């Protein structure tokens, strides 16, 4: 997919990044169109406070339930499917069934967590062009996805004004 | 450390990934040689039959199961500890977690091979898998070995993901700094990580959930390993104390292994500024607690056996206390308690070297403990006529040595491919200002002695 | 066979696969036309006779179809044939009534032994080199005939010696007739554990020169003087059956069993009371018991009759044998002697047995006579619960002993041109001091009928391999074990695997080629003809309620494995011969007690008997009942003695007598007197198949050549030895512990 | 109700002669392992006669006790097997399915009687000793656990025969090799579910005890300990 045109600034430190963020907000650019990238999580800065709402714990719990059910059925059904008496124990042995159920519950939770993570963060995604290696040198990238041609100039100024060490733009027309 | 710039951290921690030294290659060659020898020994055993081992009536389990329990125990170093530290949000954990989690993954994989190695007919190992087969037979859920199967697989999968997820951002880092082929490879490994707030947040949430999940799994794994023994009516096996006893022992040996690994990494990868005395100090205290706990369990186990005074149990009891196994038993007590306790208890001695020495003895002691749990009981069951003994053969010894070398080998190779300390987590640590300040003070103290 | 091959095959499917498969599956052997029609997988049971010891138990052989590599007229090929799969006791047979001892069970492996001689062999290279070449039966017999005809025609400078195991039935008839036809012939029967002393004693006391048949089953009190009657002595299976009955077969009655012996034997282990006695003092002890019984008027001295009269001072009530007088000599407390005597007298019927070492002392005959007298006094002779003598015909014993022959040959007094060996291994079974080995070397021509190359047949010039007992006709007339008259017979249970011939057939063949008196004295063409003849005679003599004629009699006999009288025949105690009884009560021992401090006690191995079964893997791997030793031998030492000598379990110990020395690992066990060391007979073969050759040591080799006074038998328990530690030895024990209480507990 | 096969052993009769041991080898195709392996304690004797000395010279007594798979009703060996190689048959035997066995040897560890024997190598019979093999009993390959089966092949044969002839099985009609051979009739085999059978009679006689009964394995072999002598009505 051709990545959308974007204008972004690279900030040397979180404080200036914060300023850049606020500047964009003041320009009434919807946070939907704003993109942020950093080499570390900056949990206590506003620019990193985007979409912090996730049902991941609940999904994980559900996954656990599903896994547990599978475990229970596996244990239960196979004992019935191949009913053999050993050591004077009941064909349906409760405690071992419990153990298998427990293990698969945990497995279910873990796997769903991982899957949810990958899906919600759209990973893996090797195609995306929208990235700047400066990020991994500590720069913080803040930009706007396909801005209206009218707004382009203003956005650039605001980013510079906020203290972006560099402002780059990808132009759709060429 | 607080004084280090993010750039500096990146450079220091990526250094090991660039190029290999002759010394490194030499070590790898040696270790690899031993591993190959072990593999051929195993091949020979498959060809000739289990008779090439020293197993015999009535000791049907020996070195192999000892190694199995030992390595599974060792695997409790990483994931469990790092999970606990994550949840406790102990900031000093940041440089420690990854090298801990690596131990888990490797130790677990090594330990998990022993149930196969010790089989009489390893080529039929797939009989253990619960799948609808043409034989129409399902495995026996009542067998603790099946529980092992489920528990170990769960633990392995969890640990691997627990290790891999936080590695992705660091792969991205390497990707951006590398050229050519290397860039491509790490690009793939980085999964196209860009570092948006969303990615960061989901990653941390996921790690948090898994930290919660992995702790009970780890506990269950070693409980189940202990039940392999406790479920059989064998003198000194058939005991309720076994599960906690084994778990404690596992964490004990795990921490020891972690300290050893860190000490070696610190020396050979020049991480003096990252793996600080404070880390060894803190882990040392943890080890001290576990040593006391271990001693408490041994005491409790022995005391109840002795008071119970049941003749078959007493036979095992005395053979370890005074009898043919007593040298091993008392060596174990020295290695697990008498030596490490003073070293770890006295602050002056709780140095990097001190903790490393203590950890070394503990690792040996814990291996002996596993051996002493298995063999004396089997060789002294109820009917004295059936009593016997056990001597390992070169095959078992080679394979055992091979696993230790395999551990070192995997570790060395890993540290050449992945930053052994989580770079992004370290950087993030820098920005948690308040904690950072405390860290500065503490570490400078630690640095002082 | 390649382990890998086997894996493939056995993995494929079970035993039937293994049956064909054990061999290399892809060999291109031709397949012979089956000689018998058998249903695959269907077992048939054929009667046979166990020939492994003198007891003569009846067998049932389980025969099933299998595929064997055999040679038929010179051609190797695969043959679908009936193969013996399992030996079991013949329930109809009066001796063992369907039961069998471990040796009998292992008899199967004699037939299938990998080292069996598969065809006639002629010596090829120096004598004893063990190099032989296969020859045809015609050539082999031609050789033998020429050797023997020389003996007949040429004025013999030497004669014909025939050394066999003790024979019975038509085999004996044929061999003796064969021998008789030669002017200067010396037939002799040899067995290390021979019953010559018992026969002599019983002949003297009761007029039956036979081993006794003990009716243990009805007995209430059994006193055994060293007889291993539950293991190897006399008719062990019959006696074991009776023993079981004595113990638990009679509601409300449980007989007591007392064993007197210096080392606890497998039999002694089952005793209610095991009482150690000084070696050789058994007779004195028996008379001590008699003394008490007479003195306390529990029986009258006269009750003993002739048997008593043979004992000096009997009529005076044996004044010299008062318990307190003999306590020191016997090593048994006087009160014990008194108690046992009273118990025995009070629990009628009571019976006393003697055998093994007790009769293998220089005073063995005296001991036996004393026990006979005790039996007579207890009134147990010829009565239920006592001693009887099976009414089978008394067979004349050869009077020349191997020892005498050997010394005569070595001194040149007697020349032997030709020696025939059958089922006897004199080189292994005689003390080195007898010089048998040297004597054999002096004999120009030795022919052996053995199925294996053993210590003796290795010296042979010609080997004419016999069938295994399962492959040949058999007949037997057991002399002990049942109060019924028993004449066993059995046709071959299976066809021969190898190019072998049964010994009697060969002798008959040779006889006819030699012709003359010999041929006339042996009218039968084959062994089975001879057996049938004997049964015809038996029919004429005994008649039969069931069979209407001799042929039917013969048929039924074959089907059930023999003929036995329906009712038990009471043996009449014919006065007995007034054979001069030895006056000397005390045993003599070879070796100065100050230097040779220990009595040396060889004993029959429960598994190898006299060593003739050491070649069977099942016997080698079965743990000895008491020591649990496998694949080896041992020298048994009392713990206190071992401590004094500084010998630990498994240490190699050197045992030296005046006549030789050997080395064996020490087994330290509590059941032996401190001044006695014991060693099982059986191992120590120089040459006896891959399983027994060069394994362990042979106690017989160091025995002193003294014989039992008044008989020609070897006094094999009369040697003294000295011990010394000779390093670390190898002792393979199956049992992990001596005692049930765990030794670990001593730490408490 | 199906048969419950059991055994009674009268130790007052047993003389430790080992006939049972050899008979078992012959019947069940148990390979001999040879000297080296025997030294490593790998000899396979499905039935062994345990010998215990008591006391010191001259007051020595010896105890014999044949020990083999006790065919427990609550067998510790069965539940621990992950592949159902050891399981419980409807006739109360501890079955051992060689083809399912992968050789974890867990059953052998769990067995308190130590009567399970392991094939450390493939069995070898020097030709033509292989001709003695019993076609009714499968040969066990390397890595497989084996043990006393109560001669299940004889039991099955007996049952099939009886069924074919449409008759009840007679008590004593089926005899394992050891019982069949025992020269003192110390061993009695039969159906414990039939109160009339000889084995039931002995099992319920006052003398009957179980080996390691306190472990609760509910063995189906009954041991009748050796009696002591105390005169009889005469005295």
Burial of C160 (C-beta count, 10 Å sphere; 0-12/13-18/19+): buried
CA distance A134 to B390: 63
In this complex, is the C-beta atom of C739 within 8 Å of any C-beta atom belonging to chain B? yes
Q: Is the dihedral of CA B111, B112, B113, B118 positive or negative?
A: positive
Contact D85, D108 (CB under 8 A): no
- Count of other CB atoms within 10 angstroms of residue C310: 25
Q: List, in order, residues 6 or more apart from C164 with CB less than 8 Å away.
A: C175, C187, C188, C189, C190, C420, C421, C422, C423, C424
Residue from C499, C515, C503 nearest C421 by CA: C503
The CATH code for residues C598-728 is: 2.40.40.20
Residue from B6, B18, B52 nearest B419 by CA: B18
Alpha-carbon distance values, C329 to B242, B264, C353, C608 (Å): 62, 80, 21, 33
Tokens coding B194: 């860009």
What does the pLDDT read at residue C17?
A: 40
- Whether the predicted pLDDT of B252 surpasses 50: yes
What does the pLDDT read at residue C31?
A: 86
The angle at the Cα of C465, spanning C460 to C470, to the nearest 5 degrees, equals 145
User: Residue C693 pairs with which residues in a beta bridge?
Assistant: C685
The D residues from 118 to 177 touching C (CB cutoff 8 Å) are 121-142, 177
Out of C41, C272, C607, the one facing D229 most closely (by C-beta) is C272
Burial of B327 (C-beta count, 10 Å sphere; 0-12/13-18/19+): exposed
Q: List, in order, residues 6 or more apart from C474 with CB less than 8 Å away.
A: C48, C49, C51, C488, C489, C490
A48 compared with C394, residue with greater pLDDT = A48
**Which single residue is written with the structure tokens 């077969």?**
C249
Cis peptide before C603 (omega within 30 of 0): no
CA distance A26 to A32: 14
- Chosen for mutation from C736, C737, C743 (greatest number of chain B CBs closer than 10 Å) is C736
B136 to chain A: which residues are within 8 Å by CB? Answer: 82
Contact D1, C82 (CB under 8 A): no
Residue from A121, A140, A124 nearest A132 by CA: A140
CA distance D204 to B391: 44
D142 to chain C: which residues are within 8 Å by CB? Answer: 3, 7
Can you give the residue ranges of every domain in chain B? 6-121+140-443
> Residue range B383-395: average pLDDT?
95
D231 to chain C: which residues are within 8 Å by CB? Answer: 343, 346-347
What does the pLDDT read at residue A153?
A: 86
The CATH code for residues C196-388 is: 3.40.228.10
**Residue A1 is assigned to a structural domain of this protein:** no
D144 to chain B: which residues are within 8 Å by CB? Answer: 120-121
What does the pLDDT read at residue A47?
A: 81
- Whether the predicted pLDDT of A56 surpasses 60: yes
D21 compared with C7, residue with greater pLDDT = D21
Tokens coding A14: 């979180």
**Residue A85 is assigned to a structural domain of this protein:** yes
Out of B146, B165, B173, the one facing A39 most closely (by C-beta) is B173
- Count of other CB atoms within 10 angstroms of residue C414: 19
Tokens coding C471: 């492959």
DSSP label of C568: P
Domain that holds residue D197: 5-224
Burial of C516 (C-beta count, 10 Å sphere; 0-12/13-18/19+): exposed
- Give the three-state DSSP class for C163: strand
What does the pLDDT read at residue D110?
A: 96
> Residue range A102-122: average pLDDT?
95
In this complex, is the C-beta atom of C64 within 8 Å of any C-beta atom belonging to chain D? yes
Quick check: do B and A touch, 3+ CB pairs under 8 A?
A: yes
CA diameter of chain D: 62
What does the pLDDT read at residue C9?
A: 42
CA distance B226 to A11: 55
D50 to chain C: which residues are within 8 Å by CB? Answer: 735
CA distance D207 to D223: 8
User: Residue D133 pairs with which residues in a beta bridge?
Assistant: none
CA distance D202 to A4: 93
- Chosen for mutation from B231, B232, B384 (greatest number of chain D CBs closer than 10 Å) is B232
Overall residue count recorded for chain B in this entry: 449
Same domain, A149 and A65: no
CA distance D53 to D37: 26
**Residue A78 is assigned to a structural domain of this protein:** yes
DSSP string, C308-327: HHTSTTTTTT-GGG-HHHHH
**Residue A174 is assigned to a structural domain of this protein:** no
- Count of other CB atoms within 10 angstroms of residue A7: 21
C203 compared with D7, residue with greater pLDDT = D7
Helix (H) or strand (E) holding C286: helix C282-295
Number of domains comprising chain A: 2
**Residue D209 is assigned to a structural domain of this protein:** yes
- Whether the predicted pLDDT of B440 surpasses 60: no
Q: How many angstroms separate the CA of residue B381 from the nearest CA in chain D?
A: 7
Residue from B23, B26, B25, B1 nearest B13 by CA: B1
Residue from B134, B415, B87 nearest B264 by CA: B415
CA distance C323 to C334: 5
Per residue in C87-107, pLDDT (tens digit) is: 999 999 999 999 999 999 999
Among A120, A138, A156, the domain boundary falls at: A120
Per residue in C499-516, pLDDT (tens digit) is: 999 999 999 999 999 888
- Whether the predicted pLDDT of B283 surpasses 80: yes
What ipTM was assigned to the predicted interfaces of this complex? 0.91
Burial of B380 (C-beta count, 10 Å sphere; 0-12/13-18/19+): buried
Same domain, A65 and A111: yes
CB contact under 8 A, A106 and B205: no
In this complex, is the C-beta atom of A91 within 8 Å of any C-beta atom belonging to chain D? no
Tell the CATH topology of C3-111.
Answer: N-terminal domain of TfIIb (2.20.25)
Q: How many angstroms separate the CA of residue B11 from the nearest CA in chain A?
A: 11
Strands C445-448 and C462-463: parallel
CA distance C207 to C220: 26
Cis peptide before D128 (omega within 30 of 0): yes
To the question of pTM greater than 0.90 for the whole model, the response is yes
What does the pLDDT read at residue B193?
A: 92
Phi, psi of C162 (to 5 degrees): -125, 110
DSSP label of C712: S
Overall residue count recorded for chain D in this entry: 235
Alpha helices (H) in C217-269, listed in sequence order: 236-244, 266-269
Phi, psi of C69 (to 5 degrees): -80, 115
Contact C376, C304 (CB under 8 A): yes
CATH number at residue D134: 3.30.70.20
The residues of chain C that CATH labels 2.20.25.90 are 3-111
**Residue D76 is assigned to a structural domain of this protein:** yes
Q: What number of helices (H) and strands (E) belong to chain B?
A: 18, 0
CA distance C316 to C319: 7
**Residue D233 is assigned to a structural domain of this protein:** no
* Cβ pairs bridging B and D (under 8 Å): 138
| Chain B partners (3+ C-beta pairs within 8 A) | A, C, D
Alpha helices (H) in C78-223, listed in sequence order: 102-106, 108-111, 137-153, 169-180, 196-206
D75 to chain A: which residues are within 8 Å by CB? Answer: 86-88
Per residue in D72-112, pLDDT (tens digit) is: 999 999 999 999 999 999 999 999 999 999 999 999 999 99
CA distance C676 to D165: 60
The residues of chain C that CATH labels 2.40.40.20 are 598-728
Alpha-carbon distance values, B442 to B352, B449, C99, C303, C449 (Å): 16, 12, 88, 110, 98
Strands C213-214 and A34-37: unpaired
Same domain, A61 and A49: no
Q: Does 1.10.1740.10 match the CATH number of domain B6-121+140-443?
A: no
The list of chain C residues with pLDDT below 50 reads 1-4, 6-22, 25-26, 747-748
Q: Is the dihedral of CA D32, D34, D38, D40 positive or negative?
A: negative
**Residue D234 is assigned to a structural domain of this protein:** no
Residue of D nearest to A88 (CA): D74
Per residue in B176-217, pLDDT (tens digit) is: 988 889 999 999 999 999 988 899 999 999 999 999 999 999
What does the pLDDT read at residue B432?
A: 61
Q: Is the dihedral of CA B104, B109, B110, B112 positive or negative?
A: positive
**Which single residue is written with the structure tokens 């009687």?**
D113
Domain that holds residue A134: 6-53+128-169
Residue B270 falls in which region: left (phi positive, over 0), alpha (psi -120 to 50) or beta: left
- Count of other CB atoms within 10 angstroms of residue B347: 12
CA distance B439 to D198: 84
CA distance D38 to D43: 5
What does the pLDDT read at residue C11?
A: 41
- Give the three-state DSSP class for C448: strand
Residue from C451, C480, C470, C427 nearest C168 by CA: C480
């Amino acid at each position: 997919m051709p990545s959308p045109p974007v204008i972004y600034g690279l900030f040397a430190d979180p404080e200036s990044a914060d300023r850049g963020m606020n500047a964009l907000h003041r320009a009434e650019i919807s946070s939907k169109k704003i993109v942020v990238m950093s080499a570390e999580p900056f949990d206590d800065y506003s620019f990193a406070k985007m979409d912090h709402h996730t049902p991941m714990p609940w999904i994980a719990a559900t996954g656990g339930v599903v896994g547990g059910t599978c475990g229970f059925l596996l244990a239960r059904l196979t004992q019935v499917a191949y009913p053999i008496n050993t050591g004077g124990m009941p064909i349906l042995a409760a405690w071992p069934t419990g153990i298998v159920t427990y293990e698969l519950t945990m497995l279910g939770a873990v796997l769903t967590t991982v899957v949810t993570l990958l899906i919600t963060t759209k990973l893996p995604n090797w195609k995306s062009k929208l990235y700047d290696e400066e990020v991994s040198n500590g720069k913080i990238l803040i930009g706007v996805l396909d801005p209206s041609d009218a707004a382009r100039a203003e956005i650039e100024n605001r980013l510079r004004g906020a203290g972006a060490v560099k402002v780059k733009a990808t132009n759709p027309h060429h | 450390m607080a004084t280090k710039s993010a750039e500096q951290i990146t450079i220091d921690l990526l250094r090991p990934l660039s190029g290999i030294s002759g010394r490194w290659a030499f070590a790898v060659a040696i270790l690899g040689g031993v591993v190959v020898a072990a593999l051929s020994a195993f091949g020979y055993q498959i060809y000739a039959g289990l008779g090439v081992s020293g197993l015999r009536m009535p000791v049907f389990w020996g070195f192999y199961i000892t190694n199995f329990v030992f390595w599974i125990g060792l695997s409790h170093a990483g994931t469990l500890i790092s999970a606990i530290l994550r949840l406790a949000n102990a900031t000093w954990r940041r440089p420690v977690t990854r090298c801990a989690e690596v131990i888990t993954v490797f130790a677990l994989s090594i330990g998990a091979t022993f149930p196969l190695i010790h089989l009489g007919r390893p080529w039929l190992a797939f009989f253990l898998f619960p799948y609808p087969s043409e034989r129409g037979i399902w495995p026996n859920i009542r067998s603790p070995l099946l529980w092992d199967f489920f528990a170990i697989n769960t633990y392995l999968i969890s640990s691997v993901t627990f290790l891999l997820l936080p590695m992705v951002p660091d792969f991205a880092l390497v990707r951006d700094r590398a050229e050519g082929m290397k860039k491509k490879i790490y690009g793939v490994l980085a999964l196209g990580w860009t570092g948006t707030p969303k990615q960061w947040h989901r990653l941390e949430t996921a790690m948090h959930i898994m930290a919660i999940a992995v702790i009970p799994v780890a506990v269950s794994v070693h409980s189940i390993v202990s039940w392999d023994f406790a479920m059989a009516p064998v003198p000194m096996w058939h005991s309720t104390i076994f599960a906690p006893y084994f778990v404690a022992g596992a964490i004990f040996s795990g921490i020891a292994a972690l300290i050893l690994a860190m000490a070696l990494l610190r020396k050979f990868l020049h991480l003096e500024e990252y793996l600080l005395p404070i880390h060894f100090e803190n882990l040392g205290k943890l080890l001290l607690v576990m040593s006391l706990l271990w001693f408490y369990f041994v005491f409790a186990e022995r005391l109840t056996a002795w008071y119970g005074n049941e003749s078959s149990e007493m036979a095992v009891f005395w053979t370890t206390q005074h009898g043919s196994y007593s040298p091993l038993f008392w060596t174990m007590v020295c290695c697990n308690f008498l030596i490490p306790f003073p070293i770890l208890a006295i602050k002056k001695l709780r140095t990097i070297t001190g903790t490393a020495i203590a950890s070394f003895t503990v690792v040996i002691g814990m291996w002996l403990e596993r051996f002493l749990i298995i063999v004396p009981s089997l060789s002294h069951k109820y009917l004295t006529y059936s009593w016997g003994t056990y001597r390992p053969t070169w095959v078992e010894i080679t394979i055992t040595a091979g696993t230790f070398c395999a551990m070192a080998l995997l570790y060395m190779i890993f540290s050449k491919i992945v930053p052994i300390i989580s770079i992004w987590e370290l950087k993030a640590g820098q920005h948690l200002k308040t904690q950072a300040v405390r860290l500065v003070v503490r570490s400078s103290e630690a640095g002082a002695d | 066979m390649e382990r890998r091959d086997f894996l493939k095959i056995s993995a494929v499917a079970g035993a039937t696969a293994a049956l064909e498969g054990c061999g290399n599956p892809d060999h291109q052997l031709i397949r012979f036309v089956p000689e018998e029609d058998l249903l695959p997988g269907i077992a048939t049971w054929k009667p046979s006779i166990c020939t492994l010891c003198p007891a003569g138990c009846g067998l049932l052989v389980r025969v099933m179809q299998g595929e064997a590599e055999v040679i038929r007229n010179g051609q190797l090929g695969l043959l679908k044939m009936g193969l013996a799969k399992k030996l079991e006791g013949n329930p109809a047979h009066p001796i063992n009534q369907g039961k069998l001892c471990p040796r009998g069970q292992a008899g199967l492996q004699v037939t299938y032994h990998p080292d069996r001689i598969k065809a006639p062999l002629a010596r090829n290279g120096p004598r004893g080199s063990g190099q032989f070449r296969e020859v045809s039966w015609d050539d082999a017999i031609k050789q033998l005939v020429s050797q023997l005809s020389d003996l007949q025609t040429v004025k013999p400078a030497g004669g014909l010696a025939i050394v066999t195991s003790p024979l019975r039935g038509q085999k004996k008839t044929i061999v003796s007739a064969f021998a008789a036809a030669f002017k200067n012939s010396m037939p002799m029967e040899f067995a290390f554990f021979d019953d010559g002393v018992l026969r002599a004693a019983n002949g003297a006391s009761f007029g039956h020169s036979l081993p006794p048949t003990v009716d243990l089953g009805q007995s209430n009190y059994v006193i055994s003087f060293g007889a291993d009657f539950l293991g190897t002595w006399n008719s062990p299976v019959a006696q074991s059956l009776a023993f079981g009955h004595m113990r638990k077969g009679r509601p409300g009655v449980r007989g007591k069993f007392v064993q007197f012996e210096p080392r606890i034997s497998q039999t002694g282990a089952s005793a209610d009371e095991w009482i150690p006695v000084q070696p050789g003092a058994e007779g004195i002890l028996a008379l001590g018991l008699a003394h008490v019984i007479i003195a306390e008027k529990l029986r009258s001295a006269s009750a003993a009759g002739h048997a008593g009269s043979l004992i000096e001072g009997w009529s005076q009530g044996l004044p010299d044998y008062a318990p307190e007088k003999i306590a020191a000599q016997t090593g048994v407390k006087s009160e014990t002697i008194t108690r046992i005597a009273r118990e025995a007298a009070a629990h009628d019927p009571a019976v006393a047995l003697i055998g093994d070492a007790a009769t293998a002392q220089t005073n063995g005959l005296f001991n036996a006579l004393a026990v006979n007298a005790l039996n007579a006094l207890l009134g147990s002779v010829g009565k239920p619960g006592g001693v009887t003598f099976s009414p089978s015909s008394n067979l004349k014993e050869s009077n020349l002993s191997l020892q005498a022959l050997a010394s005569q040959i070595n001194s040149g007094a007697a020349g032997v041109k030709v020696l025939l060996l059958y089922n006897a291994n004199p080189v292994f079974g005689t003390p080195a001091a007898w010089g048998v080995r040297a004597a054999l070397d002096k004999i120009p021509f030795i022919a052996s009928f053995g199925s294996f190359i053993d210590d003796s047949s290795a010296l042979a010039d010609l080997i004419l391999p016999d069938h295994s007992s399962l492959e040949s006709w058999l007949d037997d007339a057991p002399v002990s074990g049942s109060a019924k008259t028993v004449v066993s017979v059995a046709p071959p249970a299976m066809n021969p695997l190898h190019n072998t011939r049964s010994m009697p057939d060969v002798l008959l063949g040779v006889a006819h080629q030699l012709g003359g008196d010999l041929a006339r004295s042996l009218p039968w063409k084959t062994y089975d003809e001879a057996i049938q003849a004997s049964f015809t005679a038996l029919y004429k003599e005994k008649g039969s309620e069931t069979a209407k004629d001799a042929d039917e009699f013969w048929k039924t006999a074959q089907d059930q494995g023999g003929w036995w009288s329906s009712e038990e025949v009471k043996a009449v105690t014919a006065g007995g011969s007034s054979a001069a009884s030895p006056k000397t009560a005390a045993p003599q021992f070879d070796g100065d007690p100050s230097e040779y401090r220990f009595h040396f006690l060889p004993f029959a191995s429960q598994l190898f008997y006299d060593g003739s079964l050491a070649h069977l893997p099942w016997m080698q791997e079965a743990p000895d009942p008491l020591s649990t030793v496998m694949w080896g031998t041992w020298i048994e030492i009392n713990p206190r003695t071992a401590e004094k000598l500084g010998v630990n379990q498994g240490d190699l110990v050197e045992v030296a007598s005046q006549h030789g020395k050997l080395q064996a690992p020490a087994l330290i066990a509590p059941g032996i007197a401190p001044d006695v060391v014991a060693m099982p007979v059986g191992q120590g073969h120089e040459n006896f198949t891959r399983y027994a050759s060069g394994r362990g040591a042979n106690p017989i080799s160091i025995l002193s050549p003294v014989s039992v006074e008044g008989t020609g038998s070897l006094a094999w328990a009369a040697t003294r030895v000295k011990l010394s530690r000779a390093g670390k030895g190898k002792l393979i024990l199956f049992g992990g512990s001596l005692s049930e209480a765990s030794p670990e507990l001593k730490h408490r | 109700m199906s048969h419950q096969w059991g055994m009674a052993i009268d130790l007052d009769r047993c003389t430790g002669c080992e006939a049972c041991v050899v008979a078992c080898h012959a019947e069940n195709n148990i390979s001999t392992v040879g000297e080296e392996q025997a030294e490593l304690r790998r000899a396979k004797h499905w039935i062994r006669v345990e010998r215990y000395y008591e006391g010191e010279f001259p007051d020595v007594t010896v105890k014999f006790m044949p020990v083999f798979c006790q065919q427990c009703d609550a067998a510790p060996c069965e539940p621990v097997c992950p592949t159902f190689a050891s399981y419980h048959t409807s006739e109360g035997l501890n079955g051992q399915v060689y083809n399912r066995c992968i050789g974890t040897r867990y059953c052998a560890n769990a067995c308190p009687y130590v009567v399970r024997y392991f094939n450390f190598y493939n069995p070898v019979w020097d030709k033509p000793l292989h001709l003695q093999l019993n076609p009714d009993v499968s040969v066990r390959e390397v890595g497989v656990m084996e043990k006393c089966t109560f001669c299940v092949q004889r039991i099955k044969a007996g049952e099939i025969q009886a069924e074919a002839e449409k008759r009840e099985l007679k008590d004593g009609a089926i005899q394992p090799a050891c019982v069949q051979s025992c020269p003192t009739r110390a061993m009695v085999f039969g159906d414990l579910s039939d109160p009339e059978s000889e084995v039931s009679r002995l099992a319920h006689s006052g003398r009957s005890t179980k080996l390691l009964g306190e472990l609760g394995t509910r063995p189906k072999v009954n041991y009748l300990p050796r009696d002591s002598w105390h005169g009889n009505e005469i005295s």
